[in-house]
């Protein structure tokens, strides 16, 4: 504990850029969690448990489609762009980025539009629910732009700026839009909230483009790079496989509950899942700051630096997540009853299972990212597929008897299983130990 406190207290805005970026990312994540929690409470209160369940189902659908559409572009850029930037070849780096994004953007746009038109309705909780395909396309397309450009900024070492739109501006705009809409109209239904979410993400994408151009305006000589692009694009098959499996792993319970259970189960699971994220939310902040540095270290063959960074993430992930888990255990019943209402009280027990897996996730650190950025993305995809299959089997075994609690148990068990397998792969393949363990004197 003393080592962790000393590490935090050593932050200096004029000192280590990694520590500065991590601290700034954690602060952004804290603000994002607060905003996200307020948005979730407002949406659940305004929509009611049934409409909030349908709204949650379509949010999960768009999350899956967005990852399909990105085709691993962010991980691809984080894998190849930092070494180019380290050599000072900004023009070539941006030229490579431009070519990759144009190719992936054309493929993803056509694919998402086709899916939106071919599936104008989904079965949710035993009912056929119609939706606006244009809103679905708009939301997915905007997310693709935001994620891709934030990946560019992260790879170019603009770590904090990469998070501003995605984690601060969009939740604020959605919160304001939902509040204003509820004041103007007497009632709010799920389709209204979905449309407002699409609009705010579109505005976020526009701001992301403007911010990216402003940050990178010093680079005038953008040189389109076509050499090796085909090989790099082929890497997206590996990166996208991992990301698709990963998002299916996180969104499967919500989508499957919508198909095989009720909208009430979806709503309760989503609320429990969102609250459980408070336990491990700092891990993504470390990952955002870690990615470009890992890629640069790997390009230099510096395994000791990779292990040092991994242990920092593991140590601080544990010390930040475990107290949050204890807080949830103690204050959870009051939180769900007071914030979301008595109809969501059952989410407490689900959140404990989900939050327990988040502690393990935070302690093992960014092992999946380490494998992806060190040339073992294929291994990551295979392991993730095994964990997804494990979750699916457990889901159909437990849910008929336990309902949403069974879905939470299946997700938590598969998450722990996944992190154990990924950690073993990092130790055996990358030849570094990513885990922090307390010293026993």
* CA distances, 105 to each of 86, 221, 319, 357 (Å): 26, 23, 40, 35
- Number of CB atoms found within 10 A of residue 402's CB: 14
Residue 362: pLDDT over 90: no
* CA distances, 402 to each of 18, 199, 258, 405, 408 (Å): 44, 38, 16, 5, 10
- Averaged pLDDT, 313-317: 81
- Averaged pLDDT, 408-430: 91
Query: What does 329-354 look like in DSSP terms, one character per residue?
Result: HHHHHHHIIIII-GGGTTHHHHHHHH
Q: Under a CB-based contact definition with an 8 Å cutoff, are residues 145 and 206 in contact?
A: no
Considering only CA atoms, which of 154, 158, 148 is closest in space to residue 209? 148
Is position 360 within any domain?
A: yes
Count of all residues that appear for the chain in the document: 441
Residue 26: pLDDT over 80: no
Give pLDDT tens digits for 243-302: 777 788 888 888 888 888 888 889 999 999 988 887 876 666 666 666 667 777 877 888
Contacts of 199 (CB under 8 A, 6+ apart): 138, 177
Is position 298 within any domain?
A: yes
Is position 441 within any domain?
A: no
Is position 376 within any domain?
A: yes
Is position 439 within any domain?
A: no
Tokens of 405: 């609690």
Range of the structural domain that residue 23 is part of: 2-8+16-430
Give pLDDT tens digits for 31-53: 877 888 888 889 988 888 889 98
Is position 437 within any domain?
A: no
Instruction: Work out how many domains the chain is built from and give that number.
Output: 1
Residue, of 82 and 163, whose pLDDT is higher: 163
Is position 436 within any domain?
A: no
Percent residues over pLDDT 70 in the chain: 72
Considering only CA atoms, which of 51, 210, 86, 100 is closest in space to residue 146? 210
Is position 244 within any domain?
A: yes
Q: Under a CB-based contact definition with an 8 Å cutoff, are residues 196 and 171 in contact?
A: no
Query: What does 370-432 look like in DSSP terms, one character per residue?
Result: HHHHTT-HHHHHHHHHHHHHHHHHHHHHHHHHHTHHHHHHHHHHHHHHHHHHHHHHIIIII--
Tokens of 335: 């939180």
- Indicate the pLDDT class of residue 5, thresholds 50, 70 and 90: very low
Tokens of 21: 């970026």
Residue 394: pLDDT over 90: yes
């Amino acid at each position: 504990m003393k080592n962790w406190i000393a590490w935090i207290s050593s932050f200096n805005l004029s000192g280590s850029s990694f520590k500065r970026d991590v601290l700034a990312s954690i602060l952004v994540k804290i603000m994002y969690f607060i905003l996200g929690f307020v948005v979730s409470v407002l949406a659940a209160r305004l929509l009611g448990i049934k409409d909030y369940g349908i709204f949650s189902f379509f949010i999960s659908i768009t999350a899956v489609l967005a990852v399909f559409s990105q085709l691993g572009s962010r991980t691809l850029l984080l894998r190849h762009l930092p070494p180019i930037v380290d050599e000072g070849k900004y023009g070539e780096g941006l030229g490579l980025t431009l070519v990759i994004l144009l190719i992936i953007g054309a493929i993803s746009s056509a694919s998402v539009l086709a899916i939106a038109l071919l599936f104008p309705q989904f079965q949710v909780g035993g009912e056929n629910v119609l939706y606006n395909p244009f809103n679905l396309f708009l939301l997915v397309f905007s997310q693709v732009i935001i994620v891709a450009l934030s990946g560019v900024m992260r790879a170019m070492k603009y770590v904090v700026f990469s998070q501003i739109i995605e984690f601060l501006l969009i939740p604020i705009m959605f919160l304001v839009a939902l509040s204003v809409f509820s004041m103007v109209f007497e009632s709010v239904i799920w389709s209204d909230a979905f449309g407002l979410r699409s609009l705010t993400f579109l505005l976020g994408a526009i701001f992301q483009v403007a911010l990216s151009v402003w940050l990178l305006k010093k680079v005038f000589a953008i040189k389109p790079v076509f050499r090796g692009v085909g090989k790099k694009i082929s890497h997206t098959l590996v990166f996208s496989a991992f990301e698709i499996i990963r998002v299916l792993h996180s969104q499967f319970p919500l989508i499957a509950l919508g198909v095989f259970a009720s909208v009430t189960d979806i709503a309760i699971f989503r609320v429990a899942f969102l609250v459980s994220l408070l336990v491990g939310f700092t891990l993504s902040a470390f990952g955002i700051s870690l990615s470009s540095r890992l890629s640069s270290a790997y390009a230099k063959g510096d395994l000791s630096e990779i292990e040092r960074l991994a242990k920092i993430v593991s140590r601080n992930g544990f010390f930040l997540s475990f107290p949050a888990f204890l807080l949830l255990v103690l204050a959870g019943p009051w939180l769900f009853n007071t914030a979301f209402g008595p109809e969501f009280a059952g989410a407490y027990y689900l959140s404990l299972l989900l939050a327990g897996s988040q502690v393990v996730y935070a302690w093992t650190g960014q092992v999946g990212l380490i494998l992806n950025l060190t040339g073992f993305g294929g291994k990551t995809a295979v392991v993730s597929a095994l964990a997804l299959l494990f979750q699916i089997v457990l889901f159909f075994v437990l849910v008929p008897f336990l309902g949403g609690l069974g879905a939470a148990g299946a997700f938590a068990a598969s998450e722990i299983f996944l992190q154990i397998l990924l950690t073993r792969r990092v130790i055996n393949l990358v030849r570094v130990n990513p885990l922090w363990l307390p010293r026993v004197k």
